Chains A and B, each alone.
Chain A
Amino acid sequence: DGGITQSPKYLFRKEGQNVTLSCEQNLNHDAMYWYRQDPGQGLRLIYYSQIVNDFQKGDIAEGYSVSREKKESFPLTVTSAQKNPTAFYLCASRTSGRIVSGELFFGEGSRLTVL
Chain B
Amino acid sequence: EDKVVQSPLSLVVHEGDTVTLNCSYEVTNFRSLLWYKQEKKAPTFLFMLTSSGIEKKSGRLSSILDKKELFSILNITATQTGDSAIYLCAANSNSGYALNFGKGTSLLVTP
Residues in A lying within 8 Å of B, measured CB to CB: 31, 33, 35, 40-45, 48, 50, 56, 58, 90, 97-98, 100-101, 103-109
Contacts and interface: CB of A to CB of B under 8 A. Distances in A.
> Which 4 residue pairs are nearest across A and B when measured between Cβ atoms?
A42-B103, A43-B101, A106-B42, A97-B97
A50 B97 contact: yes
16 contacts: A40-B103, A40-B104, A43-B43, A43-B90, A58-B98, A90-B42, A100-B31, A100-B92, A100-B93, A101-B32, A101-B50, A101-B92, A103-B48, A104-B90, A106-B43, A106-B44
A104 B6 CA distance: 19
Interface of B: 6, 9, 31-32, 34, 41-45, 48, 50, 88, 90, 92-94, 96-104
Given A106-B43, A109-B41, A109-B42, A100 B101 contact: no
Contacts of A42: 6, 88, 101-104
A47 to B, nearest CB: 10
Contacts of B32: 100-101
A46 B99 CA distance: 12
Contact of A108 (B42, B99, B101): B42
A96 to B, nearest CB: 9
